[in-house]
Amino acid sequence: MRQQSGDASLLRRLNSAAILRILRASDEVTLTELAKAAKVSRPTAEAIVEELLVEGWAQECEEGLGDRQRGRPARRYRFRAAARHVVGIGIGGSTIRAMTADLGGAVVGSRTVGVPSDADAAERIAAVVGLVEESAAELGLSSGELAAVGIGTTGVVDGEGRVVKSVRLRDWTGVELQAELRKAITAPLLVENDMRLAVLAEHWRGVAQECRDVVYLFTGNKLALGLLIDGVPYRGAHAASGELGEQPNGNWTAFGSVIDYAMSVEPGELRAPADMAEFAFERARTGEAAAVEAVERFALRLGEGLVTVVNPLDPEMVVIGGALARGGELLVGPIQSYLDRVCLYPPKVVASELGRESIVVGAVRLALNLADRVLFTAEVEV
């Protein structure tokens, strides 16, 4: 929408923003319906729609055969989701993922770049900026022409997008990440904690779409939580909700049974805790008794940790995410059985289907939410 001046232009901007919001929220709508919903005259609605058609924000719907048989039907319009695009970024220890989507949430591109696990903050930030620029360039755009950018990162992230504390990434604690990225990316941009984005992704596109109260357990070489309360990711008083911190000896005691099993089978093979768990999963699927027992004990320890959150929060669903979600029923079954036994109202336990994409999918949703606020309000020039 074009910036105008004066009282008349302010009213026009208010009306344009209202009609654009109605278009975005509707599948198809006529001029009469737009005028009524926006509380403007039909000629005003028609003039605004014509402007939106020229600027690419709206498109006229094609007539179907049935419409032609009924005579001349009312012209119908829809929001053009491809008018603008957003990029979501998930920052991992050795991988940074990007996903590009139109304003309807349709994914139109994805990219991944590796970074050294010991990269310093400047290197990691440069990699993020480069990935955003490359993602925009695939669409023939500069990064500043994106509608919004959402960034997910590990660590405690405050309301200003600063990484207050991070135990996983070198040189990451104290980084003013949002401010640093805004120096290079002029598009609207927000930074958020990765676990809050993961549970947001499950609510938007994952297994928790019908739920408003969810506990998300991330499983990998770290364990972390994401909490969705009444449909909104919970931040906590210090924006630290879900951060379980570094554990004694660098490992979680929950992994003890699968570590012991893997070491007993291949004592000379050194693996990360998550790799040992997956090794046990593979053997358990063949029916090997010792592996099945190790996995069940691992799942039970996860369940014991979850119950301390589940009982006081009373969620509808627990989502097992992260790399070990591939364990599927091997984890879900024992955890469900345990929660059924000890919870007054046991939630449904489900393995995530988003896999490693959960954080970047959540970052796309974060970017879309930001784009909605920026693009579809009269107060902001778009």
pLDDT tens digits, 295-340:
999 999 999 999 999 999 999 999 999 999 999 999 999 999 999 9
Name the token pair of 180.
């640093």
The CATH code for residues 208-353 is 3.30.420.40
270-279 per-position pLDDT tens digit = 788 999 999 9
In this prediction, residue 108 carries a pLDDT of 97
136-158 per-position pLDDT tens digit = 999 999 999 999 999 999 999 99
Angle at 25 between CA 364 and CA 75, to 5 degrees: 130
Q: What's the rounded Cα separation, in Å, for the pair 364 and 382? A: 20
pLDDT for 2 beyond 50: no
pLDDT-above-90 percentage for the chain: 79
Helix or strand (DSSP H, E) at 228: strand 223-229
Name the token pair of 267.
């004592």
Name the token pair of 285.
């699927």
Does domain 6-82 fall under CATH 3.40.50.10860? My reply is no
Count of CB atoms situated within 10 Å of the CB of 348: 16
The residue type found at 319 is V
Bridge partners, residue 88, by sequence: 99, 150
pLDDT-above-70 percentage for the chain: 91
In this prediction, residue 355 carries a pLDDT of 87
Count of CB atoms situated within 10 Å of the CB of 32: 13
Domain edges within the chain: 6-82, 84-198+359-375, 208-353
190-243 per-position pLDDT tens digit = 999 999 999 999 999 999 999 999 999 999 888 899 999 999 999 988 888 876
pLDDT for 68 beyond 90: no
Sheet of 85-91, strand order: 107-114, 95-102, 85-91, 148-153, 189-193
**Does residue 234 sit in helix, strand or coil?**
coil
14-55 per-position pLDDT tens digit = 888 899 999 999 999 999 999 999 999 999 999 999 999 999
pLDDT band at 72 (very low <50, low <70, confident <90, very high): low
Segment 286-303 mean pLDDT: 96
pLDDT for 249 beyond 50: no
In this prediction, residue 122 carries a pLDDT of 97
Q: What is the mean pLDDT of the chain?
A: 90
Cα–chain center distance at 222: 19
Segment 173-194 mean pLDDT: 97
In this prediction, residue 380 carries a pLDDT of 39
**Does residue 316 sit in helix, strand or coil?**
coil
pTM of the full structure = 0.89
Are 6-82 and 84-198+359-375 in the same CATH fold?
Answer: no
Identify whether the C-beta of residue 153 lies closer than 8 Å to the C-beta of residue 191. Answer: yes
The residue type found at 357 is E
Count of CB atoms situated within 10 Å of the CB of 213: 17
Dihedral over alpha carbons 112, 117, 123, 128 (to 10 degrees): 30
Tokens 């010792």 correspond to what residue? 290
Nearest to 352 by CA among 232, 206, 253: 206
In this prediction, residue 1 carries a pLDDT of 47
What's domain 84-198+359-375's superfamily in CATH? ATPase, nucleotide binding domain (3.30.420.40)
pLDDT for 164 beyond 90: yes
Q: What region, left, alpha or beta, does residue 230 occupy, with left being phi > 0 and alpha being psi -120 to 50 degrees?
A: left
Identify whether the C-beta of residue 30 lies closer than 8 Å to the C-beta of residue 75. Answer: yes
Low-confidence winner among 96-105, 115-124, 342-351, 373-382 (lowest mean pLDDT): 373-382
Cα–chain center distance at 284: 32
